[in-house]
Amino acid sequence: MDWKEVLRRRLATPDTGPNKKKSEQELKDEEMDLFTKYYSEWKGGRKNTNEFYKTIPRFYYRLPAEDEVLLQKLREESRAVFLQRKSRELLDNEELQHQTPPVIGEEAMINYENFLKVGEKAGPKCKQFFTAKVFAKLLHTDSYGRISIMQFFNYVMRKVWLHQTRIGLSLYDVAGQGYLRESDLENYILELIPTLPQLDGLEKSFYSFYVCTAVRKFFFFLDPLRTGKIKIQDILACSFLDDLLELRDEELSKESQETNWFSAPSALRVYGQYLNLDKDHNGMLSKEELSRYGTATMTNVFLDRVFQECLTYDGEMDYKTYLDFVLALENRKEPAALQYIFKLLDIENKGYLNVFSLNYFFRAIQELMKIHGQDPVSFQDVKDEIFDMVKPKDPLKISLQDLINSNQGDTVTTILIDLNGFWTYENREALVANDSENSTDLDET
């Protein structure tokens, strides 16, 4: 029973003494006495609350203001020293070699007993890796209870790389709060360019456009709320940094370069498309210019929504906004891309798509079909197909989460915004049949 309940019961007990009625002041005094007594007991008998608060360790340190130059310099220097110390603590790039017979094939293996022996002989930097937890992570199906030395080596190198990269990114964390702003990440990538052999052919005049292209992918997918900053931890957890650092490979295949957003061919392709769309050469895209994007079959209704919801300047789109548009349309299976397109489709800003909003966009598809002389398609049929594909929790509303969970979000959005995409979906069976026939003919030849 807490002090509040004790106090309530005590005050509710009738007075059985000779003076059955007490004055209002006496009741207040008694209430205060009881409150003080029970509150003191509840606080552990501490009479001085200041002493109590002194036992709480300090957990907040105010960031120095802009005009506190010395405090800012002190903070920067202390962070630099701290990061240098953490860097020195990292394991050197030395290969571990120890194997336990019998050797099956050419793969070197080690059991737990010898694993611990190696750990005892290893230096202090290595001890954190020679634990039962690490061994259990790498133990799979070996009948002798051993792990692969090469797998262990790769595990250690990956951990060291993650720590090195985190320290490297932290050097650009001006605020020192564990996240990078857009300008911070731009500086990181700009200084990284000379270390990537696959970008040697880029002209320096293109560097700013390349950096913008690279940074937008990080922020489009890792900053869905558009806060203007990304946690360093999120950067390390995603695969984008791996793709970027893959450009260190001097023998990277042409196919890998084409599929890597950060490669020179990819960045030049995206920027080249932007320049080709910019017919008046003013460095911006109007709605009419953007309508020629891709197969030039997106509906005007959808393009209207793009220019209503996205950041524009005097009704025209800059390169950064264009990059978000491209990333959304080229990655329609990804939740961040679906979130981008869903916001455009949600014309009533209700947080869901209903029959009205689906019809609103599909009517534009029907109009384009008439212009191109294609047979009309009933909206009722398309609407039923969409709801069958998505299977929303509410049979009358499709939420963003419904789209993501269905794994059909890319198909649904394509049907509603792009005539060519709808035609491909509508004739998918015939296209599959033609592909099968063509492959059969090739096999026979």
Q: What is the DSSP string of 56-102?
A: SPP---PPPPTT-HHHHHHHHHHHHHHHHHHHHTSPPS-------SS
Domain ranges of the chain: 3-54, 72-170, 281-445
Report the sign of the C-alpha dihedral through residues 163, 168, 171, 175, in that order: negative
Who has greater pLDDT, 81 or 11? Answer: 81
At 38 the pLDDT is 73
Answer yes or no: are the C-beta atoms of 137 and 148 closer than 8 Å.
Answer: no
Return mean pLDDT, the chain. Answer: 85
Distances (CA, A) of 382 to 91, 305, 359, 388, 416: 59, 21, 9, 10, 10
Q: Read off the tokens for 198.
A: 């696959």
**pLDDT, tens digit, 9 for 90 and up, residues 58-75:** 777 777 887 888 888 887
156 Cβ neighbours under 8 A, 6+ residues apart: 91, 96, 126, 129
CATH topology (fold) of 281-445: Recoverin; domain 1 (1.10.238)
370-403 tens-digit pLDDT: 998 888 899 999 999 999 999 999 999 999 999 9
Cα angle value 248/224/332 (rounded, 5°): 75
* pLDDT at residue 98, rounded to an integer: 46
Tokens describing residue 382: 């398309």
Most confident listed range (22-26, 188-192, 422-426):
188-192
Question: Which residue type does 152 have?
Answer: F
Distances from the Cα of 53 to the Cα of 35, 41, 42, 381, angstroms: 21, 16, 15, 68
Read off the DSSP letter of residue 351.
Answer: S
Q: Which of 24-33, 37-46, 170-179, 302-311 has the highest mean pLDDT?
A: 302-311
